[in-house]
């Protein structure tokens, strides 16, 4: 998840135009591990709808860079669980609506064989999962910007969340990739 230096995932009007999207070295560092360990995508309605209108087009775009096409095909082929209170159906390849509350859904998914799950937000979904103690690891793209206001990644936490840094890497764009494990004890 992209996060500003002052902790926001989007500006006050939901804007995300400040996110670093052109740092190929960050993608080369982050994407292979994601693709090798994750086999299920958890996503909220808004982001699902954006993804469903974007990634299938990129997957078939002969002018797109090969790395972007490969990621788009991974997005297409990876199972997606959509958390929504308003969608009645989903039609994008390998997508289904979550059938239970988030805690029950995640517990059922964890009982199945396979790899990791990733939450591709948005902020409300991540906040809900955080409050339910369902997040095991935070992978953050710390952006070289302070927004001053917006939607925070962590708001109204019932308790502190202790974290252990697993890895970090800075990039020439100013972006810093951070991976934190949640400490439960």
Which CATH number do you get for residue 120? 3.40.430.10
Q: Is residue 17 part of a domain?
A: no
Instruction: Compute the half-sphere exposure of residue 143: CA atoms within 13 Å on the CB side of its CA.
Output: 21
Domain count, the chain: 1
Q: Is the pTM of this model over 0.75?
A: yes
How many residues are present in the chain? Answer: 185
Q: Is residue 133 part of a domain?
A: yes
Q: Is residue 79 part of a domain?
A: yes
Q: Is residue 16 part of a domain?
A: no
Q: Is residue 153 part of a domain?
A: yes
- Torsions phi, psi for 45 (to 5 deg): -60, -50
- Torsions phi, psi for 184 (to 5 deg): -115, 115
Per-residue pLDDT 10s for the chain (185 aa) are 899 999 999 999 989 999 988 888 888 888 888 999 999 999 999 899 999 999 999 999 999 988 889 999 999 999 999 999 999 999 999 999 998 789 999 999 999 999 999 998 778 889 889 999 999 999 999 999 999 999 999 888 888 999 999 999 999 999 999 999 999 97
Q: Is residue 18 part of a domain?
A: no
Give me the helices (H) in the chain, please: 24-37, 45-59, 66-77, 102-111, 123-131
- Note down the domain range covering 150: 2-10+24-182
Determine the Cα–Cα distance for residues 25 and 172; give it in Å rounded to an integer. Answer: 9
Q: Is residue 15 part of a domain?
A: no
What Å distances lie between residue 67 and 50, 61, 70, 102, 159, CA to CA? 20, 12, 5, 32, 40
151, 121 contact by CB (below 8 A)? no
Determine the Cα–Cα distance for residues 61 and 181; give it in Å rounded to an integer. Answer: 36
Computed on alpha carbons and rounded to an integer, the radius of gyration of the chain in Å comes to 16
Q: Is residue 113 part of a domain?
A: yes
């Amino acid at each position: 998840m992209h996060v500003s230096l002052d902790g926001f995932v989007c500006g006050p009007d939901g804007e995300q135009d400040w996110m670093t999207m052109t740092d190929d070295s960050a993608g080369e560092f982050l994407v292979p591990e994601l693709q090798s360990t994750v086999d299920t995508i958890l996503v909220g309605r808004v982001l699902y709808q954006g993804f469903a209108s974007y990634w299938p087009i990129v997957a078939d775009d002969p002018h797109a860079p090969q790395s972007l096409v490969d990621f788009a095909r991974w997005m297409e082929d990876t199972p997606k669980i959509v958390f929504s209170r308003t969608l009645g159906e989903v039609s994008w390849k390998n997508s289904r609506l979550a059938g239970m509350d988030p805690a029950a859904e995640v517990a059922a998914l964890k009982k199945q064989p396979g790899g990791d799950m990733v939450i591709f937000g948005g902020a409300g979904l991540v906040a809900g999962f955080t409050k339910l103690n369902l997040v095991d690891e935070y992978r953050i793209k710390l952006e070289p910007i302070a927004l001053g206001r917006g939607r925070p990644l962590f708001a109204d936490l019932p308790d502190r969340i202790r974290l252990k840094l697993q890895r970090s890497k800075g990039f020439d764009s100013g972006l810093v990739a951070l991976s934190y494990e949640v400490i439960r004890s």
